[in-house]
Each structure stands twice: as structure tokens, then as C-alpha cells.
Structure 1
Amino acid sequence: MKNDSTLTEQVEQKILKYITEQGYQIGDTLPRENEFALLLGVSRVVVREALSRLRIMGFVETRRKRGTVLKSPDMFYGVKTIIGSGKLDLESLKDLFEVRIMLEIGMADFIFMRRTENDLEELMRIIQEENATGETDFEKLARLDIQFHSTLYKISGNKTLRAFQHLLNTLFVTYSRNKDWKHKQIISHEALAGILAHGTPDAFRSAMRLHLNTRFEDMEKLFSGPEKLRMPDGVSQ
């Protein structure tokens, strides 16, 4: 079994090398399985397995009447697989949690560069709905919190960043944060929006760091001490 796996991986790499050397472009139709088998000197079964692996990673797709077509790979395939595997341990979860905090503090320059009046109005709409929501409606407040931060990622204009943030939201949306998190915030969403409208990237970074203070506290409670918060689905302890 080990040798079969190794051969499949070798053929996978040879197919990618062939695609590069032959100058195939996104959307081009690739040789058929039997053609690759002849080119690479292996069986069609091995070629089929190698193409299946490339299909899962998003390098190729099968289209009706065209066969195997080259496409742009899914950069987050590995992350999606890990998150959906149910095999994440606490250390891995902690790393991903920290990555999210780093991103939210670090993207200030891009947000200021690309913000528009419509973006600011969208943030204010979320804030107004948040202010009108009862303090005991924790589920809605959590949803609005996610909307606010998702909007900031959208303002950054970076599709890769937004895709990664969506994956992290999928992971962390179900974990129970402290119910008094809103009261413990040093900097509110409204204050962040005000700085985004009239302040500077440096001021926004500093404010975001303070705003995320409760998330650091939640993280400490999640990853240390005898009592831990409820783990998200797909996370092993």
C-alpha cells in the first residue's frame, strides 16, 4: 500500500510538471487517462488516482463533453480538510485563533486605503442593530459581532483574506464566549467605526488591539484551567 501511494504521488507531480512544461493554461483540456498512462509509463489506475488527488485539491475538474480541464487550485483546500476532519487538537485551535487576531489587527492599512462611504454606512447599520438588541439576546449579538468583523474583511478588498476569514468563522462561530463580553469591551464597534471614518491606520490598529482584549481573555479560558468553554464542532480535546 505504501508503494502504491508513493507511485501515485510521483505520477501526480509528473502530471503537474508536464502541464507546466507544455504550457497549459487555466481552462485548457488535458490529455486523457490513457494518454497520460502512455506518456508516463504507468497504468491507467495510477493515473486515475493521481488525477483524483489533483481534482480534490482543485487543480483540475471534469467537464461534460470536454474531459479533464485545468483550473486554478483551491489555496485553502488543506485548511478546509483539517477543519472538517474533526481531528483538530487544542494547540492547533489556539494557533488558528491567534492567526485570526493577528489578521484583524494587521489589516488596518488596507481597510483605510479601500474604505468607502457605503462601507462606513454598512458598519453603522450593524452597530445600530446591535445597540437596539437586548443584552440577553446573546445569539443575535454574536451574529452581529461576526457581521461587523466580516465587513471589515470585505472592506480590505482581499479575496484570499476574506476566504480565510470565512473558514475561521466556520470554526469559531459555535464556541461559547463569555456572556458579558460586550460589557468588558474596552473599545466598542462604534468607536472602531468612528476611528475608521476620521482617524488613522495606527490609531485603528491600537483600538482594534484593545477591542480584541476580551477575545484574548476568552482564549485563555478556552485553553487553560480546569474549566474550559464548550468546544466548537470538529475539535478534539
Structure 2
Amino acid sequence: MEFKTIHRNTTPIMIVEQFLKSLESGQLVQGQQLPPERELARMFGVGRSSVREAIGILVVMGYLEVLQGKGTFIRRSSAGTNYKAIPLENLISLLPLFDLLEAREILELKAVQLAAERANDQDLAKMRRTIRKLEESGGDTEKFYTADGEFHAAIADATDNAMICHILKSLVRQIHRFNVKFMFTSEEAMQQTITTAKAITSFIAQGEGDRAQNWMYRHLNEVDGSLKNMVAERKKRGERLSLSLWAEEIETPSQRP
């Protein structure tokens, strides 16, 4: 396996592009295990954080899967599925829901760290406006998740990374649509979310990426925690449901074979 060393303005998207070229040429094949992050970083001539971010992007796109304790592998796509031909929004709805939640967490934690390094006054003002919308949601679940989605979009914008913005916004939209339709969010949970959103914004404004990252982890578990627990239980039973399949199961159980 060979990769060209990246010399100019290294970004994760350039790593993604090289990976996709290697996949198209047949140099990489389904089921193949990738070298460890440290080795990939050496091969590309970049830092491990850039490799880690690129892997997160490729996981979301459906090309890679990370198996705990085993490593990172080229995903074996289902028969007849051409992931490259599927628009991102549609692709996300086809992927296993637990995988999407994990991918979102990877991207969100990186995004908030980048936002702490790059956010300007306009970005911070946008975050604060969305927090006011959260406060004004008045217990309305749809308004709450719409405002929460705008908060995450503001953080994505503050990364100044077009690929992270595109993928993260698509992920958040799909997951929030599911939450609005099927999940109950208590008033207490909404208040906790507002508190953590304020803390995240404050630490981003202070440039404290690590502390903002810790609060983002807490924020994600408050907003998506119940959903993640539910999906984890179904995953233990060997069920790998996508957003679209699960929505169909809940909406029309009598129509399923």
C-alpha cells in the first residue's frame, strides 16, 4: 500500500481524496484492514489528528468501519449498493443508527475543539442567538430540536472547514428529525441542554478547546443519550437498524412482513 506524502496545507479532505482514489483504482479492497493511525500519519506525512479526522469523515460516508479492539477496515457494502452514487442525506438515512451516533460524536468533539481555535465574534453571536431560541422553545420539542440543530450548525460553521460543516449538519438534521418524531424530551433535560450549550459557547469564546470538548460530550449525552441507549440495546440483540428502516418499523408495524 502506497500513499503520496502531502506537503501543502495538509487537511483531512486531502487524505480523504487520496483514499478514494486508492479505492477506485483497486489498491484498497472491501474488508481490508488499514494500518494503525500512527503508520498512516507517517505514510501521508501528516499529524495523527488529521488522519483521525479523515477516518471519521470516511466512516460517516460509509467507506470505513472501526471495530473496537480490532482496527479500521474498508466497509463491505451490501450487494448492489454503490455508496458513491447516493447523495449524503440519503446515505446517512441508510446507515446503521448507532454508527451515525458514534460518527456524530467523533465529528462534534473535533468540531468544538476547532471552533475554540477559529471562532470569530460573528460565530459566537450566532451561537448565543441559538441559545436564546432554546430558552424560548417553551417545552415545544420541535422548536427545541430546531434550535439545538442551529446551535450545532453554528459550531460547525466556526470550524471554517467546509467538509466538516457539510457532513455534521447532515448528521444532525437526520438524527434530530428522528428525535422530534419518536423521542420524548423532558423539561429538565431541555434545561440541562441549555446550561451545557452556554458552557460550550463560553469555553469556545475563551479558546479553551479541551473544556469545550468535555461539555460537548456531556451535551450530546443529554440530547441523544436516551436514543443512544435504546439503539445500543437493540445492537446487543444483533439488530443494525438504519434511520429509515427504524422509522418504517415504528410507523407501520402492521405493514411489515
Q: State the TM-score, normalizing by the size of structure 1.
A: 0.56
Choose 1 or 2 for highest CA Rg.
1
Q: How many residues align?
A: 159
Call closer, same or farther: CA 1:101–1:187 in 2, change over 3 Å.
farther
1:103-148 residue CA offsets vs partner (Å, 9 max, x unmatched): 111223321221111111111111112212212x111111000000
1:193 and 1:87 map into 2 onto residues whose CA distance is: 29
* 1:178 counterpart = 2:220: no
1:79 and 1:96 map into 2 onto residues whose CA distance is: 19
Give 1:212's aligned amino acid: L
**Among 221, 231, 237, the residue aligned to 1:222:** 231
1:87 and 1:211 map into 2 onto residues whose CA distance is: 23
Residue 170 of structure 1 deviates from its aligned partner by 4.1
Structure 2: 5+ residue runs without aligned partners? 1-20, 26-82, 250-257
* 1:141 counterpart = 2:144: yes
Give 2:146's aligned amino acid: R
Call closer, same or farther: CA 1:234–1:161 in 2, change over 3 Å.
farther
Are 2:111 and 2:164, in contact at CA under 8 Å, matched by a contact in 1? no
Instruction: Tell me the residue number matched to 1:202.
Output: 210
Are 2:141 and 2:185, in contact at CA under 8 Å, matched by a contact in 1? yes
1:128 and 1:86 map into 2 onto residues whose CA distance is: 29
Give 1:196's aligned amino acid: I
SS in 2 for 1:188: helix
Residue 171 of structure 1 deviates from its aligned partner by 2.6
1:132 and 1:217 map into 2 onto residues whose CA distance is: 23
Are 2:112 and 2:155, in contact at CA under 8 Å, matched by a contact in 1? no
Structure 1: 5+ residue runs without aligned partners? 1-12, 18-76
2:85 and 2:225 map into 1 onto residues whose CA distance is: 23
2:92 and 2:210 map into 1 onto residues whose CA distance is: 38
Give 1:217's aligned amino acid: S
Residue 199 of structure 1 deviates from its aligned partner by 5.1
RMSD of aligned residue pairs (Cα, Å): 3.4
Call closer, same or farther: CA 1:151–1:185 in 2, change over 3 Å.
closer
1:86 and 1:158 map into 2 onto residues whose CA distance is: 20
Residue 217 of structure 1 deviates from its aligned partner by 3.3
* 1:156 counterpart = 2:159: yes
1:124 and 1:87 map into 2 onto residues whose CA distance is: 30
1:171-223 residue CA offsets vs partner (Å, 9 max, x unmatched): 32321233123145495211211111225111111111111222233211234
Residue 87 of structure 1 deviates from its aligned partner by 8.0
1:234 and 1:170 map into 2 onto residues whose CA distance is: 17
Instruction: Tell me the residue number matched to 1:114.
Output: 118
1:206 and 1:127 map into 2 onto residues whose CA distance is: 18
